Amino acid sequence: MLDHITGSTVQDSDLINQVQDLDLINQVQDSDLINQVQDSDLINQVQVQDSDLINQVQVQDSDLINQVQVQDSDLINQVQVQDSDLINQVQVQDSDLINQVQVQDSDLISQVQDSEKCYSNWRSSAHGGPRWSHKGGRRWNAALNNGETADRGTEPRPTQGASRKKTLFHPAVTELREENLSLI
């Protein structure tokens, strides 16, 4: 009886050991599975992290490239606008200067013409010289070319355009003209 019990007990103990061994094996297997799953998770996690880092770097690089391109474009446009403004400013300034000179020239010409009118009816009171008239008479440049003195001639006939500038007038008018032209 006792032997049977003892035998049964041993058998039960062996069975228990076998079951425990199976549990241990299962535990080990489970542990391996857990380790495999954990390893897989770690691998996946690393891969995702790596992918994120790669994507992040790519996006950052792309942003930097775009930022540089935009900055370069802005600088180019800014320079172009500045150049255009400077060119326009110079053109306006040049135009103003030209207009200013033209107005000054016009004023000087009018002033000289007014002086010429004052001399058109002038008579020399010193020696009863010739009457200064717009009608006929020698041109001052012709008189000088012939070796004659300027005061022996008469005021030249009025001319138009550029030829008028070449005409010599009474010495007082000539002096006034030279003085005014030196102001330009």
Secondary structure (DSSP) of 1-58: -HHHHHHHHHHHHHHHHHHHHHHHHHHHHHHHHHHHHHHHHHHHHHHHHHHHHHHHHH
- Give dist(CA 74, CA 68) in Å, integer: 10
What letters, b where the CB count within 10 A reaches 16 and e where it falls short, cover 105-144? eeebeeebeebbeeeeebeeeeeeeeebeeeebbbbeebe
Query: Domain residue spans in the chain?
Result: 1-98, 121-181
Lowest mean pLDDT among 55-64, 72-81, 161-170: 161-170
- 165/159 Cα distance (integer angstroms): 9
pLDDT value at 162 more than 50: no
- Residue 169, pLDDT above cutoff 50: yes
Angle, helices 171-181 vs 2-120, to 10°: value is 170
pLDDT at residue 164, as a whole number: 45
In three-state secondary structure terms, 124 is coil
Residue 155 CB neighbours (<10 A): 25
**Measured between alpha carbons, how far is 118 from 151 in angstroms, rounded to an integer?**
17
The answer, yes or no, to whether residue 152 has pLDDT greater than 50, is no
Q: How far is CA 157 from CA 29, 63, 115, 178, in A?
A: 131, 82, 15, 20
pLDDT of 74 strictly over 60: no
Residue 135 has pLDDT above 60, yes or no: no
Average pLDDT, the chain: 53
Whether residue 176 has pLDDT greater than 50: yes
What's the pLDDT band for 179 if we cut at 50, 70, 90? low
pLDDT grade for 138, boundaries at 50, 70 and 90:
very low
- Our CA angle for 134, 170, 158, nearest 5°, is 30
What is the rounded distance in angstroms from the CA atom of residue 102 to the CA atom of residue 184? Answer: 10
**Greatest mean pLDDT among 26-35, 38-47, 144-153:** 26-35
pTM attached to this predicted model: 0.14
Task: Look at residue 71 in the predicted model and tell me its pLDDT.
Answer: 52
Burial of 167 (0-12, 13-18, 19+ CB in 10 A): middle
